[in-house]
A and B are shown apart, each in its own frame.
Chain A
Amino acid sequence: DGGITQSPKYLFRKEGQNVTLSCEQNLNHDAMYWYRQDPGQGLRLIYYSQIVNDFQKGDIAEGYSVSREKKESFPLTVTSAQKNPTAFYLCASSIGPLHRGSYEQYFGPGTRLTVT
């Protein structure tokens, strides 16, 4: 069964601690994305990666970091510099824009992070 997995589903951390959210896909997709969703708001792009070993900042990258060492994996680290980290984090992947017409993003189940 192909898909995207995110773990854990719920995560609790103390303020000042870094935390890493995992995202793995076995869809053989080139592109991967991290979004943040706050109540009553749309998804906001944190980082995206077009291919392995390459990634770009999205609209709200401050306080976050990523790596893309493997095609299947795109972990997101929420650092202590992120001022308001409590949110629902969604990872997504797509075949990639080089494959014309295949722009649909497939989303993982999300991780709800609470920082106190």
Chain B
Amino acid sequence: GQNIDQPTEMTATEGAIVQINCTYQTSGFNGLFWYQQHAGEAPTFLSYNVLDGLEEKGRFSSFLSRSKGYSYLLLKELQMKDSASYLCAVLGLGGFKTIFGAGTRLFVKA
């Protein structure tokens, strides 16, 4: 079967650092996406990891371990506008089908 797990909700304080974990079991793997989705809006692309390791992009970093089926999204210097859902998604072999996790709702409080 195919399964992507991530926590349902997280709460963090403005200015802090938060790590959102994602574990996956899929029949094929091409790479792993992280998307941000504000309520009622479309998802927007944050990162795409193919190789193991950490990729940093401004305040956001994404980590992948293919052998462990594990990824995390690290958000630094949290801002109120970072309150959103964060979707972990796996791109299957062939590069067409993407399987999405249910998303983690992040609440940033003052």
Which positions in A face B, CB cutoff 8 Å? 31, 33, 35, 40-45, 48, 50, 56, 58, 88, 90, 97, 103-110, 112
Contact = CB atoms under 8 A, between A and B. Distances in A.
Contact of B91 (A88, A103, A108, A110): A103
A-B interface, 6 closest residue pairs, ranked by CB to CB distance from nearest: A97-B95, A107-B42, A42-B100, A43-B100, A42-B102, A104-B45
A90 B31 contact: no
A90 B35 CA distance: 14
Q: Give the size category of B's interface with A.
A: 20 to 34
B70 interface: no
A48 B94 CA distance: 13
A7 B45 CA distance: 22
B4 interface: yes
Contacts of A35: 100
Contacts, number: 55
A97 B103 CA distance: 25
A112 B95 CA distance: 28
B87 interface: yes
B28 to A, nearest CB: 13
B38 to A, nearest CB: 11
23 contacts: A31-B96, A33-B98, A35-B100, A40-B8, A40-B102, A42-B87, A42-B89, A42-B101, A43-B43, A43-B89, A43-B100, A44-B100, A45-B99, A50-B96, A97-B96, A103-B91, A104-B48, A105-B45, A107-B42, A107-B44, A108-B42, A109-B41, A110-B41
Contacts of A106: 45
Nearest to A88: B40
A43 B33 contact: no
A48 B99 CA distance: 13
Interface in B60-107: 87, 89, 91, 94-103
